Copies of this chain bind each other. A is one copy, B any other.
Amino acid sequence: MTKAHEVVAAYWAAAEARDWAAFGALLADDVVYRGPQTREQVRGREAYIRFNREGFDYDWHVTVLRIVGEDQHAASWTDFAGREGTQPGLCFFDLDDDGRIAMINDFWPDPYELPASRAHLVERY
């Protein structure tokens, strides 16, 4: 397992445990979080811990489906169970030279209707 893989595994374990001290220790001081779908951004460890503690005011749980780590990059695919049911979450992480998380790009894809243009080329599962 790569270092980047281990860091992201620890990140999700700390988030699920609400262990914000352990969570914060994995982050660079000037970590940047981005949600490209809303174009929201959070800068800095304290602000990002607060975002996670206070931004989701319901009993959420995260299950890791995949973590892939290579050099200073990693990606995770999780299932996030929250107020509106279970939704996949996809994150891309960039680590700094000290192995701390410096950048997170976080994606939350919603269900959508299968386009008619390719319906004849697929089956449903």
Contact = CB atoms under 8 A, between A and B. Distances in A.
Contacts of A61: none
Nearest to A36: B88
Contacts of A107: 88, 90, 107, 109
Nearest to A5: B70
B108 A109 contact: yes
The secondary-structure label for the interface of chain A is mixed
Of A1, A56, A113, A123, chain B has the most CB atoms within 10 Å of the CB of A123
B123 A37 contact: no
A57 B100 CA distance: 43
Nearest to A74: B68
A121 B118 CA distance: 40
B51 A121 contact: yes
Interface string A2-36: 10110000000000000000000000000000111
Contacts of A35: 122
Given A70-B68, A109-B109, A112-B110, A41 B124 contact: yes
Contacts of A108: 109, 112
Contacts of A34: 125
Contacts of A125: 34, 39-41
